[in-house]
Structure 1
Amino acid sequence: MTISPDAHLAEERLHRMHQRLGGIAYGGDYNPEQWPRDVWLEDARLMQEAGVNLVTLAVFSWSRLETADGVYDFGWLDDVMDLMHEHGIGVDLATPDAVPPAWLIARHPDILPELADGSTFGFGSRQHFDVSHPVYREKALAMAEQMGDRYAKHRALMMWHVGNEYGPVSYGPWAAKAFRGWLRQKYSSLEELNQAWSADVWGQVYSDWNQVDVPAQPRTWSNPSRRLDFHRFTSHSMLEHFKAERDILRRHTPDLPIVTNFMRFYKTNDYWAWAAEEDAAALDIYPDPREADAHVAAALNFDLMRSLRKGQPWMVMEQATGAVSQWSVNVSKLPGKMRLGSYQAIAQGADSILFFQWRQAKGGTERYHSAMVGHAGPNSRIFREVVQLGNELKDLGGLAGTRATAKVAVVFDWECWWALELGNSPRSDLNYAQEVLRLYRPLFDANITVDFVSAQSDLSAYSLVLLPAAYLLNDESAQRFEDYVSDGGRLVVSYLSGIVDESNTIRLGGYPGALRKVLGAWSEEMHPLAGEGEEVKLTTSDGGTASASYWTEHLHTQEAEVLASYDSGRLAGSPAVTRNTFGKGSAMYLSARVDPTFLKLLLAAECEAAGVQPELQAPPGVQVRRRTGSGSSFLLVLNHNDAPARVDVGDGGTDRLTGRRIQGTVELPPNEVLVLAEPTR
């Protein structure tokens, strides 16, 4: 992954924005078009009370900003922009192309995306467009030009927000035409495409480019290489549209940040490619309050956002104050959890805490989605928590711009994700994100800071790299991992890694294909466990016991030492976990899904051997992170437990939330936070 040459300019833009805001950004989506004007003044007053310094405007306002083809009405938005400036509140101004208006769809109904089964995505929701449609693109870019020209000099404008949650996939004729064009750029000839797609299997050979179509829903299964390329095309085509809007806005406002919002575990878009084209990574995050460990998956997403632009501070663009409205049962966050989750994001590198949305809608699809000001109004628990958090963040301006550093990296790669979950494999129920989370969790629990990298990233800064289910690896990436170990790195590889090349073609000679040499072991056959809850026993090299479930392999060692062997089942006596010394480093292979306790022990031993230390020794459920920069160091300690926890913070520091000097062992109440400004070292 490479970041565009003006990466330093992106950070400068963010730095200037946070200086103008006074530090950490705080606020959320504001939709005044849903409310009469007499509410707007109350909103501005309440925003000041809550410490809001940034609101996102116009995300869903296309129909109000362009009321008919070429007929623009910006008067009401002018008034809101002026009102925000008068009250000291900055604006993150959105281009509203996520919601093409009804009049545009009526004139050009083929803008609506076509689903894989041939049905049309109807009007009445969001993201109802085929990004390849020329009229949609023309009108969206015209709106960006209008907004850039009109608001470039407005004193409230702090940044731009392009679109919203990019993601609609279309299988219609416009997408098909664009897909063919993309393929003709990727492949020099039809013969090369036929070869890459293994088209002779099932007689799918193409003799003319016009025969190549999108992989719409077939009778049974369809070509996995073709579908992988369609994933690549889809992410690319949406990114190209984002870049076109970005370039228009950049021309009008070269000094302002420009972003769009990413989503939690979102598969459609390759965020490594997207983040390289933006000024910051920005995340919409909605953990389910019903899950006791929802903060762990949230932590993975936070670390991923921080890593997408090589440690640069990122943004929480959307989160909920209480309940959401998309699940079958929408439980509200318990008191204190919204504040705790916000500080967790800050601990993991965020400099902006924003919500969807400011005022809870009284109608429409998301009328039960919580907000900073709910249906009950400001005299409510949630608004009191909003005010508390906003006023605390005013005193944490020194955190903005600081960074976290890591010596451990975990590979998260969208092409691996796409290829792995295409089906027709030994286990079609395998979930890539959960495989990554399985290796991430022991490190999170141990308070070891983790960066994420792609399969194309430079690994030289890391003492330990984890490679979970890296199903697709091209030759260059495989060589990068081999060189990393040879130069002294420690690598941990899980099952289903290195299986296919960039064309989604199996690497022959035994699994795990591209990594056999560095691992010093190979598998002749995959043996997924069929029964629900089925387990096999393991014996470890030191005489201990463990177990494995879900996945096993018939593994053979070459140079590798055996750390654990199967002790039951059809593979009894065969190796299950190995470690190979390779050059100056070592590579461990987990050919089975080992139990969590054994995995924790294995990764703890690897961390120790790599010289990786936790930020602080802390009891279970207590998260510790450190942010440093410009001569400052902040230690953030978060108690995710619903009970008090005793933590030894050592020399500690001054708690920026209370002003108290904290050191030694302290008792942290449930869901409570310390933000310690550490003494200058």
Structure 2
Amino acid sequence: MTIHPEDLRTAEARLQQLHQRIGGIAYGGDYNPEQWPREVWLEDAKLMQQAGVNLVTLAVFAWSRLEISDGVFDFGWLDDVMDLMHQHGIGVDLATPDAVPPAWLVEQHPDMMPERADGSIFGFGSRQHFDVSHPVYRAKSLALAEKMGERYAKHPALRMWHVGNEYGPVSYGPWAEKAFRAWLQRKYSSLDELNEAWSTAVWGQLYTDWNQVRVPAQPRTWSNPSRRLDFHRFTSESMLEHFTAERDILRRHSPDLPIVTNFMRFYKTNDYWAWAAEEDAVALDIYPDPREDDAHVAAALNFDLMRSLRQGQPWMVMEQATGAVSQWSVNVSKLPGKMRLGSYQAIAQGADSILFFQWRQAKGGTERYHSAMVNHAGPNTRIFREVCGLGEELNALGDLTGTRSTAHVAIVFDWDCWWALELGNSPRSDLNYAQEVLRFYRPLFDANITVDLVNANSDLSAYSVVIMPASYLLTDLAARRFEDYVSDGGRLVVSYLSGIVDQNNTIRLGGYPGALRNVLGAWSEEMHPLAGDGEQVKLSTPDGGTSSATYWTEHLHAETADVVASYTSGRLAGTPAVTRNSFGEGSALYLSARVDEGLLNQLLYDELLAAGVEPELKAPTGVQARRRAGKSVDGTSRSFLMVLNHNDAPASVDVLDGGTDRLTGGAVRGLVELPANGVLILDETAG
């Protein structure tokens, strides 16, 4: 879905007002006072003031406390908390709690529970225990949203609305099936059209009546991939439809306040391009595993995706952890300084809000070992001191809000590709699309190249280089868009498993990669995935260089393209592996193999050099640099260079002309030593 400029402007106005009202960067997190006795509430409010908290999220899981039985409401306690927050100068992000239908509602309507593909029922006792297509669930959740909108729209503490929580339950039950059938009838004009799109002539799956069309529940073996792709699309759209219904209710009551829901990292179920177009801001829940030395790289890709979903608009960290994360098998806590570093990384990549899950660590329930801003031991702890220190720093950086990053390189990340590629029954059913994208992203991150993420419908004109990792599904229109991009002077980098199928998940005939064969000037007659993890073939380049490839190869033919690298071992010895084709005013590079890291890095750097793309800053390995510039919410023009040391040892960095260090107030120029996990924020405007 395309974001219309007028919608973007309206959303930006709401965001600008949010940050003006809270005084700059949003800082705080989920607050669940319903878990605690009233005497704790006042202590919490005072501690929030001490920590610099200016925004808390309320009522995310509170449906059972707000509607205690069918049609019987108790808002008194929430009124008191809202008033308490206002009295202490703390804004509220108020949530509609529809992620957790109460037990009494489930007891009345047990068919509300989602059904798994194998026919088993998702039981009560967790969350997201609903089929979003169930009419009573929809009616009751929308009615509660109406009640909350009526009651709190004018409350002086209210700063924004938060719809639901981590939308995601997939159901294969009867209500989903009925809704799926109706969705298909809207998409396809007739059963003949559906049969053609789904290739039902294969395996005799022809439908002769709409009532025969069901959800793709788990079959004995394999299931029709086109049908399953449409079910992915339906699932995302049905949940989005519920979000927009609640959003529209709240918008009537609060036309000037931002309305969001929270996304998750590398979350496959929902097409976040479509979702982001319907929100005022993108909000992310991000939980890197502290055990992974390079977790910050995958986090960076997620941050750049969030920034890109609404065309560079500042976004929100809605949830992160101060220390340990309860979802991992081993609950390793973040080392001192890592929470601060991760927060500044998000800001460097476009976030204007740093929020946590949660304010006070729960003493019971599933997430009782998930860290918080106030942990079990109370405020006299390292973590709370770090929380207070970060809050004090962020309070002085209000003029950073509203500024943006500019990228000249884009990577294609598309949910249709993701869904289609990972349905199985392909030459490599173990391919992980998100990890494939990360593989192409990593060299750019290491080189401090700012990257936007785009989808197949995005405007590409602002980019000097566009990279397509495993862009498996392409429509005819998208294929022409990439051709036009190259013809107009762009540089395109395409990997294997791109352009293979059309919008119906049907193979494009005439050689791979069918949709891109013309612009690439090369075609493959056969795919040759390599068998074992250790299988490897050798490659050579015309200048005498050598490299290798694993995992994937193809029998490639160069037509108009030049050969950049060839196979020198294995069944494809002597045939091209990597080609580059001049096309119009631009060029297209094709990697038919998963080349080793050295060659991949070199190929990407060559494209950047030829396109004149420069890093934000040349820095040692593990040191990240990002620039945010433009109009701040205070109306001034600003430019900030943020330098972050992800190493656990000091690093020397040449910041050239430098500027004013906003964290110390001192002037900085030339060579600077960043401490381990250190952060430098240079105000270049004042330099």
TM-score over 0.5 (shorter chain): yes
Give the partner amino acid of 1:398: D
Instruction: Give the TM-score taking structure 2 as reference length.
Output: 0.99
1:642 aligns with 2:631: no
Give the partner amino acid of 1:48: Q
1:23 aligns with 2:29: no
Matched ranges for 1:233-632 at <5 A:
233-630=234-631, 631-632=637-638
SS in 1 for 2:361: coil
Post-superposition Cα deviations, 1:384-440, rounded to whole Å, max 9, x if no partner, equal 100000010000000000000000000000000000000000000000000100000
2: distance between equivalents of 1:150 and 1:74?
9
The equivalent residue for 1:230 is 231
1:2 aligns with 2:8: no
Post-superposition Cα deviations, 1:72-115, rounded to whole Å, max 9, x if no partner, equal 10000000000000000000000000000000000000000010
Post-superposition Cα deviations, 1:253-297, rounded to whole Å, max 9, x if no partner, equal 000000000000000000000000000000000000000000000
The equivalent residue for 1:164 is 165
2: distance between equivalents of 1:333 and 1:664?
31
The equivalent residue for 2:676 is 670
Give the partner amino acid of 2:2: T
1:679 aligns with 2:680: no
2: distance between equivalents of 1:532 and 1:287?
26
Q: Give the total of aligned pairs.
A: 681
1: distance between equivalents of 2:165 and 2:627?
31
1:125 aligns with 2:131: no
SS in 2 for 1:564: strand
Give the partner amino acid of 1:640: H
1: distance between equivalents of 2:378 and 2:541?
60
Give the partner amino acid of 1:107: Q
Post-superposition Cα deviations, 1:204-263, rounded to whole Å, max 9, x if no partner, equal 000000000000000000000000000000000000000000000000000000000000
Residue 330 of structure 1 and its aligned partner are, at CA, apart by 1.3
2: distance between equivalents of 1:518 and 1:223?
31
1: distance between equivalents of 2:342 and 2:252?
36
Give the partner amino acid of 2:484: D
1: distance between equivalents of 2:586 and 2:464?
10
1:112 aligns with 2:113: yes
2: distance between equivalents of 1:184 and 1:161?
32
Paired residues of 2:655 and 2:672 also in contact (CA < 8 A): yes
Question: Which residue of 653, 660, 681 corresponds with 2:659?
Answer: 653
SS in 1 for 2:211: helix
2: distance between equivalents of 1:30 and 1:531?
49
1: distance between equivalents of 2:392 and 2:570?
60
Residue 362 of structure 1 and its aligned partner are, at CA, apart by 0.2
Residue 326 of structure 1 and its aligned partner are, at CA, apart by 1.2
Give the partner amino acid of 1:587: A
Matched ranges for 1:210-225 at <5 A:
210-225=211-226
The equivalent residue for 1:84 is 85
SS in 1 for 2:324: coil
1: distance between equivalents of 2:43 and 2:660?
37
The equivalent residue for 1:139 is 140
1: distance between equivalents of 2:161 and 2:685?
37
2: distance between equivalents of 1:505 and 1:22?
52
2: distance between equivalents of 1:563 and 1:613?
23
Give the partner amino acid of 2:225: P
Post-superposition Cα deviations, 1:37-78, rounded to whole Å, max 9, x if no partner, equal 000011000000000000000000000000000101000000
Give the partner amino acid of 2:188: Y
Residue 680 of structure 1 and its aligned partner are, at CA, apart by 5.7
SS in 2 for 1:679: helix
SS in 1 for 2:16: helix
SS in 2 for 1:340: helix
Give the partner amino acid of 1:468: P
**Root-mean-square deviation (CA), in Å?**
0.7
2: distance between equivalents of 1:674 and 1:653?
11
The equivalent residue for 2:634 is none
Paired residues of 2:181 and 2:210 also in contact (CA < 8 A): yes
Moved more, 150-159 or 1-10: 1-10
1: distance between equivalents of 2:574 and 2:334?
49
2: distance between equivalents of 1:446 and 1:541?
26
2: distance between equivalents of 1:120 and 1:381?
43
Paired residues of 2:640 and 2:685 also in contact (CA < 8 A): no
The equivalent residue for 1:177 is 178
1: distance between equivalents of 2:423 and 2:262?
26
2: distance between equivalents of 1:138 and 1:263?
26
Give the partner amino acid of 2:175: W
Ranges in structure 1 where 5+ consecutive residues have no aligned partner: none
1:200 aligns with 2:206: no
Identity of aligned residues (%): 82
Ranges in structure 2 where 5+ consecutive residues have no aligned partner: 632-636
Residue 679 of structure 1 and its aligned partner are, at CA, apart by 3.2
Give the partner amino acid of 1:263: M
2: distance between equivalents of 1:390 and 1:213?
52
Residue 662 of structure 1 and its aligned partner are, at CA, apart by 0.7
Post-superposition Cα deviations, 1:646-665, rounded to whole Å, max 9, x if no partner, equal 00001111111111111100
1: distance between equivalents of 2:239 and 2:415?
15
2: distance between equivalents of 1:679 and 1:296?
28
Post-superposition Cα deviations, 1:506-545, rounded to whole Å, max 9, x if no partner, equal 0000000100000000000000110122111110121101
1: distance between equivalents of 2:514 and 2:438?
23
SS in 1 for 2:296: helix
The equivalent residue for 1:44 is 45
Post-superposition Cα deviations, 1:182-201, rounded to whole Å, max 9, x if no partner, equal 00000000000000000010
Residue 24 of structure 1 and its aligned partner are, at CA, apart by 0.1
2: distance between equivalents of 1:208 and 1:584?
51
2: distance between equivalents of 1:607 and 1:198?
42
2: distance between equivalents of 1:555 and 1:6?
45
2: distance between equivalents of 1:330 and 1:607?
40
1: distance between equivalents of 2:648 and 2:503?
46
1: distance between equivalents of 2:47 and 2:88?
10
Give the partner amino acid of 1:201: V
Residue 629 of structure 1 and its aligned partner are, at CA, apart by 1.1
1: distance between equivalents of 2:84 and 2:544?
71
